[in-house]
Amino acid sequence: MQSTTGNWRDGVAAAGRLTVHGLFRACVRRDPDAIALNTASARLTYRELDERVLRLASALAAMGVVRGERIALLSENRQEYAEIELAAACLGAIVACQNWRLAPAELQHCISLVEPCLVIASERYASTARSLDLRGRRLLVLEAEYEQLLSDAEPLAELPDVDPEDGLVILYTSGTTGLPKGALISHRAEMARNMVLRIDMHARESDGFIAWAPMFHMGSTDQVLGALMSGATVHIVDGFDAGRIVDLMEHNDLGWMLLMPGSIEPVVELLQKTGRRPKSIRAVGAMADLVPHHLIAELSRLAGAPYLNSFGSTETGLPPASSCLLTPGEIPTSLSKRKSAFCDLKLVDPDGNEVPDGEPGEAAVRGPTVFSGYWNAPETNARDFKGGWFRMGDLFRRNADGSYDFVDRAKYMIKSGGENIYPAEIERVLLSDPRVSDAIVVRQKDDRWGEVPVAFVSRTDDSLSEGDVEKLCRQELAGYKRPKAVHFIRFEDFPRSTTGKILRHEMEDRLKS
| Residue 4 binned pLDDT confidence (cut-offs 50, 70, 90) | very low
Residue of 505 and 404 predicted with greater confidence: 404
Whether the per-residue pLDDT at 450 is higher than 90: the answer is no
pLDDT at 6: 39
Spatial CA neighbour of 436 closest among 261, 304, 273 = 261
| Residue 9 binned pLDDT confidence (cut-offs 50, 70, 90) | very low
Any alpha helices (H) in 5-158, and if so which ranges? 5-15, 20-30, 46-62, 79-91, 104-114, 123-130, 147-152
Q: Tens of pLDDT along 171-201? A: 998 644 467 899 999 999 999 999 999 999 9
pLDDT at 338: 97
User: What's the distance, CA 95 to chain centroid?
Assistant: 16
pLDDT at 306: 97
Q: Tens of pLDDT along 100-149? A: 988 888 899 999 999 999 999 999 999 999 999 999 999 999 999 999 99
pLDDT at 365: 98
Q: Tens of pLDDT along 236-285? A: 999 999 999 999 999 999 999 999 877 899 999 999 999 999 999 999 99
Strand order of the β-sheet with 234-236 is 43-45, 35-38, 234-236, 209-211
pLDDT at 421: 81
Residue of 172 and 450 predicted with greater confidence: 172
**What whole-number distance in Å separates Cα of residue 87 and Cα of residue 12?**
26
Q: How many CA atoms lie within 13 A of 126 on its CB side?
A: 11
Q: Which of 58-62, 83-87, 208-212, 499-503 is predicted least confidently?
A: 499-503
pLDDT at 380: 92
Radius of gyration, CA atoms only, the chain: 24
Mean pLDDT computed over 434-455: 89
**What whole-number distance in Å separates Cα of residue 177 and Cα of residue 109?**
15
| Residue 224 binned pLDDT confidence (cut-offs 50, 70, 90) | very high
Residue 407's contacts (CB-CB under 8 Å, 6 or more residues apart) are: 360, 394, 395, 396, 397, 422, 424, 425
pLDDT at 418: 63
Neighbours of 70 (CB within 10 A): 24
Domains recognised in the chain with CATH numbers = 18-239 (3.40.50.12780), 414-512 (3.30.300.30)
Q: What is the pTM of this model?
A: 0.84
What is the separation, in whole angstroms, between the first and last Cα of the chain? 85
Distances (CA, A) of 148 to 42, 50, 55, 56, 73: 18, 17, 11, 10, 18
pLDDT at 54: 98
| Residue 314 binned pLDDT confidence (cut-offs 50, 70, 90) | very high
- 109 burial class (0-12, 13-18, 19+ CB within 10 angstroms)? middle
Whether the per-residue pLDDT at 419 is higher than 80: the answer is no
| Residue 16 binned pLDDT confidence (cut-offs 50, 70, 90) | low
Spatial CA neighbour of 261 closest among 495, 61, 462 = 495
| Residue 355 per-residue DSSP state | P
Residue of 391 and 407 predicted with greater confidence: 391
Neighbours of 12 (CB within 10 A): 10
Three-state DSSP class for residue 159? coil
pLDDT at 148: 97
Residue of 69 and 104 predicted with greater confidence: 69
Q: Tens of pLDDT along 75-95? A: 999 999 999 999 999 999 999
State the chain's mean pLDDT as an integer: 92
φ and ψ of 270, to 5 deg: -70, -40
Q: For the chain, what percent of residues have pLDDT higher than 90?
A: 78
